[in-house]
Amino acid sequence: MPPAIAEPSPTPDQSAAGMRDMRLRSIVATILEAPTIRRHKLSNTEIAHQGFVLVRVLLENGVTGIGEASTLGGPRWAEESVESIQAVIEKYLAPALADQNAMMFEANAVRMSKAATRNFAAKAAVESALFDAVGRTLDLPASALLGGQVRDRIGVIWALASGDSGQELEEAREKLRLRQHKDFKIKLGFNTPDADVRRLQHLRAGLGDDVRLIVDVNQAWTEALCLRLFPALEELGVALIEQPVPASQRDAMARVASRTRIPLLIDEAAFTNTELASVASQACGSVYSLKLVKSGGLLELKRAAGIAQAFGIELYGGCLLESSIGAAAHMAVFSTLPKLEWGSEHFGPRILVDDLVAAPLVFEEFEIHVPSGPGLGMILDEDKVRFMARKAGSQ
């Protein structure tokens, strides 16, 4: 028989009533659809509305915590969709956590893992809401519950993903002028390879050699195509190449990584920590993209960072176009990591026509500020949430 999950032992200043105050009264998941300021293209999809699942946990003490799950155009980037996330939370995760103490983060993560395999976005959203609720109860930022901050701001990368090099050049120049972003990630793979290279050439010529360019192929190229195109990317001074081949083709990614001077960024090839250790052992890349949607929670995300660095792999703060809520959950973890060599990509709040919170995250001098308030430090704008909430019966 497996060992029982340990329950907290009350300390002298914790009354039975006080312990009950931290127990979970309810968990509610709501699907939201937020329009974006422009179309955002990947190799396998494009979006004009970003889908979120907003999670609210209510504790017996009356405190509400919020979390968020993000997807890209349904179950295309990964297996989860907003519909599946909502269903898993309501039918499986919420019952597994009913009446549990929100402070028992590890025990609650175990309960969620027993209730549902994978479903990482759903679990991460619930765990984010638990950290938010506990932080609000204790008047502490979530980062304090994760070991404490080593930084209060993080460099932030902007993605160029319209496919129109003229529009993208104008967009990048405006970000530089406003001193919001100086590093840019270009989404490739939805055009022909030659068109991708011409687009990069146009951007490099227009932005100059001092601007750092990263490319994300989103698994769209073959090994042979990588070998043909990588020399051109090297000539253009590309700093990093994200997931050029399909995630399942780890041997091919390792061979490609060994034949270019540009470091490869591991993304879809590793979700779990076991997968991360495997691709690291195979030398599939030298940088890892940290994402809650892959790790399934703040605690596992921090463990993933440790595993990557144990293999000598540098860290990149990845995103899935989260609003300020999801971005703040990532910032809570990123701010506690001893190293974050490539900064973060959490520009998501700025690609939305309207964010979900009353006061969005602050972007200034090419950096994103880590929220300082209790929990995740975000306050919902209930009017915006009501406007973006999917109506019952709609698809």
Residue 391 confidence class, pLDDT cut points 50, 70, 90 = confident
pLDDT digits (tens, 9 = 90+) for 108-142: 999 999 999 999 999 999 999 999 999 999 999 99
Predicted confidence (pLDDT) at residue 44 exceeds the cutoff of 90: no
Cβ atoms of 127 and 93 closer than 8 Å: no
- Count other Cβ atoms within 10 Å, centred on residue 148: 11
Give yes or no for residue 154 having a pLDDT over 80.
yes
Average pLDDT over residues 97-107: 97
- Distance, in Å, from the CA atom of 128 to the CA atom of 138, rounded to the nearest integer, reads 15
Compute the CA torsion angle 73, 80, 307, 112 (nearest 10 deg). 150
pLDDT at 92 over 90: yes
Total residue length of the chain: 395
Query: Is the confidence at residue 8, as pLDDT, over 50?
Result: no
8 or 370, which is more confident: 370
Beta bridge partners of 65: 57
**pLDDT score, position 4:** 54
3-state SS string for the chain: CCCCCCCCCCCCCCCHHHHHHCEEEEEEEEEEEEEEEEEEECCCCEEEEEEEEEEEEEECCCCEEEEEEEECCCCCCCCCCHHHHHHHHHHHHHHHHCCCECCCHHHHHHHHHHHCCCCHHHHHHHHHHHHHHHHHHHCCEHHHHHCCCCCCEEEECEEECCCCHHHHHHHHHHHHHCCCCCEEEEECCCCCHHHHHHHHHHHHHHHCCCCEEEEECCCCCCHHHHHHHHHHHHHCCCCEEECCCCCCCHHHHHHHHCCCCCCEEECCCCCCHHHHHHHHHCCCCCEEEECHHHHCCHHHHHHHHHHHHHCCCEEEECCCCCCHHHHHHHHHHHCCCCCCCCCECCCHHHHECCCCECCCCCEECCEEECCCCCECCCCECHHHHHHHECCCCCC
Residue 78: its pLDDT value, please?
A: 86
**Active site includes 123?**
no
Poorest-pLDDT segment among 11-15, 92-96, 211-215, 316-320: 11-15
Output the pLDDT for position 393. Answer: 54
Specify the amino acid at residue 234. Answer: E
The answer to whether 187 is a known catalytic residue is: yes
Dump pLDDT digits (tens) for 45-62.
676 778 999 999 999 999
- Could you say which of 127, 345, 367, 384 is catalytic? 345
Question: For residue 3, how many other CB atoms are within 10 A of its CB?
Answer: 5
Longest dimension (CA), the chain: 69
CB contact set of 186 (below 8 Å; sequence gap of 6+)? 159, 160, 161, 168, 199, 200, 203, 213, 214, 215, 216
Q: Over 70: is that where the pLDDT of 2 sits?
A: no
93 in Cβ contact with 297 (< 8 Å): no
Confidence (pTM): 0.92
Q: Is the pLDDT of residue 346 over 90?
A: yes
Q: Which amino acid is at 66?
A: I
Quote the mean pLDDT of the chain. Answer: 93
pLDDT-based confidence at residue 11 (cuts at 50, 70, 90): very low
| Among 175, 185, 187, 302, the one annotated catalytic | 187
pLDDT at position 9, please?
47
**Would you place residue 372 in the very low, low, confident or very high pLDDT band (cuts 50, 70, 90)?**
very high
